[in-house]
Structures are given as structure tokens and as C-alpha cells.
Amino acid sequence: MNTDSFAQATQNSMQLSPSQFSQICRLVYERCGLCLQNGKESLVKARLLKRLKHLGLTSFSEYLKYLDEDRSMKELGSMIDVLTTNKTSFFREFQHFEFIRSQMLPKLMESHSSATFWSAGCSTGEEPYSLAILIKEGLPEVNSKQCRILATDISHPVLDRARAAVYSEEVIPKDNASLLKKHLIRIQSKPAPLYRISDEVRKMVQFAHLNLTDRWPMQGPFNLILCRNVMIYFDQETRKKLVRRFWELLKHGGHLFVGHSESLTSSSAEFKYVQPAVYLKQ
């Protein structure tokens, strides 16, 4: 075989057939509820080619065989990692943080009771750390026993980054830079500045690996559950089940936050709508 025909053969073997695409969709849906729709074939292919290259495989049929034989299920996790989006930022969708500051913290201060929060689908940690910073600012006397934040995600690599709590200058939002910087420690100046979240804030957040579509080991009850920009990738049935399970784990008077492009369906009628993307368990 000459060089050109070898290149062509390699290219052909890298085709992702409709049945291979369906197999991948089914695996991902069964494992984590993520719905990959038709039309996403080229995106899926482009992202998975990185996995093939990493594993030294030359076709999707080899890759599917590898997945099938991998008893550790490690590759399934890596596949899900490359297919999910981890986009997040500090104080993302600021209305939520304003709601916590103006509505929730004053009540907590009055009641002197302890509070528990859950950031479900926390990605690289910006969401739970923003929450911890806000609590620290609003209730300076608070300690990590009084206000506990559980932060979970299906992805091990994002959890490693969240636990490390090291961020570059670019991820510091202009709007809340001074608030955030009060709780950041500069750990490197050159070649580019790097910051770590202060120990006090880090202590308030406990990270754990959790697949939202599996069994949940924690009991709750929580004052607040944030599941923002996660359910958007699930189908109606998975969302419905999840929202029901969130309801069961919330205190009466507790809140559920979803992403601003998401809303609960009428089947989630137990929740009372408070404002966009904020729901109350009465």
C-alpha cells in the first residue's frame, strides 16, 4: 500500500457510522443521562478522536471493543468527560447570588441555625467557592460546621481541579474582582499570575464524586440545592426524576436553583416558583 492509500485507509477507518454513533449515545445515556442528539455526530467524533489517539487505536470499532472489554469502566468515564461541557465561572448568573445574599443569609443569621448547601454538577469549583465566599462575607462569624457546602460532579478531572482551587487571572470576573480577590492568595506571579482560594473558604466546601443518575449516599436535608446548567443536557424523563429527588432532599422552606435557561415543568408542581430559576419547597 502506498502512502496516499494508507492515509486514505486510515481516514476511512476513522469514520463514525450511524450504528456506532447510536451505540455511543446509548452508553452515555445509560451511564449519566446525557442526551446526545442527532446532528451531534461530528462533534462526538471530533471529541472522541482525542481518546482514540490517546489509546493508540485506529478505528471506532476498536474503540467500542475497548470500551466493552474495559471492566474498570475507566474509559467510559473518560469518554463522558470529553463529551460533557464543564463551562462555569465565578458568580455565574449573579441573580442567584444576590438572592442568597438578600433573602437567605438574613434568615439564617436570625435563626442561628446551621445550614447545608449542595452544588450538584459543580465542575471546577467556581460555583461552590462563590457560594462559600458570599456566606463568609454575609456571615463573617460562620465556621465550616455551621455552613457546609457539598459539591459533587461525575468528572474526576474537574473535581481534582476544584480541590486544587488554583485559578488564573483570566477566570476572575471583572464585576466581582475585588470581592473574589479578598479570598484569593497569589501563589505565582510569573509567567502568569495564579491564585489559590484561601484556606478558610476552601474548608467550607467538601467535594465528592457523584453521578446524579446513580444512588445518592447523602441524606440531606439541604437548605439549598444548586443544579445549574446540568439538567439542560438530560431528557424530560431524567429531569423529572432528578427534580423529584431534589425535592425529597430539601428542607421545607429550602430552595432549588436551576440554570437561567432552564425551568421546571408543570410536573414539578410541588415546587413554588419564586423568580426565574429559583424554586421553593413549601
Ligand X SMILES: C[S@@+](CC[C@H](N)C(=O)[O-])C[C@H]1O[C@@H](n2cnc3c(N)ncnc32)[C@H](O)[C@@H]1O
* Three-state DSSP class for residue 151: strand
Our measurement of the distance from residue 215's CA atom to the centroid of its chain's CA atoms, rounded to an integer in Å, reads: 17
Among 77, 105, 108, 121, interactor with ligand X by CB under 6 A: 121
Among 33, 77, 125, 254, interactor with ligand X by CB under 6 A: 33
Among 25, 27, 28, 32, interactor with ligand X by CB under 6 A: 32
List of residues 6+ apart from 81 with CB closer than 8 A: 155, 156, 157, 158
Lookup: cell for 116:
447545608
Region 250-279 residues binding ligand X, contact defined as CB under 6 A: 259
Q: Which of residues 202 and 239 has its CB atom nearest to ligand X in the complex?
A: 239
Give the shortest CB-34-to-ligand X separation in angstroms.
Answer: 6
List of residues 6+ apart from 266 with CB closer than 8 A: none
78 in contact with ligand X (CB under 6 A): no
- Judge whether 153 counts as a catalytic residue: yes
- Catalytic-labelled residue, pool 148, 153, 202, 228: 153
Query: Applying CB under 6 A, which part among 36-44, 64-72, 223-231, 264-272 lies near ligand X?
Result: 223-231
Binding mask of the shown chain, residues 91 to 120, with x at each position contacting ligand X by CB under 6 A: -x----------------------------
Phi, psi angle pair for 250, to nearest 5°? -90, 150
DSSP label at residue 233: G
Among 58, 86, 144, 198, interactor with ligand X by CB under 6 A: 86
213 in contact with ligand X (CB under 6 A): yes
228 in contact with ligand X (CB under 6 A): yes
Lookup: cell for 46:
471530533
249 in contact with ligand X (CB under 6 A): no
Give the shortest CB-88-to-ligand X separation in angstroms.
Answer: 3
* Three-state DSSP class for residue 188: strand
List of residues 6+ apart from 20 with CB closer than 8 A: 60, 61, 64
- Catalytic-labelled residue, pool 47, 101, 196, 245: 47
* Size of residue set near ligand X by CB under 6 A: 24
- Judge whether 214 counts as a catalytic residue: no
128 in contact with ligand X (CB under 6 A): no
> Long-range contacts made by residues 97-101, C-beta under 8 angstroms, separation at least 24?
97/130, 97/131, 97/134, 99/255, 99/275, 99/278, 100/131, 100/134, 100/135, 100/138, 100/224, 101/134, 101/138
Measured between alpha carbons, how far is residue 17 from residues 45, 70, 85, 216 in Å? 10, 22, 24, 36
Interface residues toward ligand X, by CB under 6 A: 32-34, 84-88, 92, 121, 123, 127, 153-155, 158, 210-213, 228-230, 259
Positions annotated as catalytic residues are 47, 153
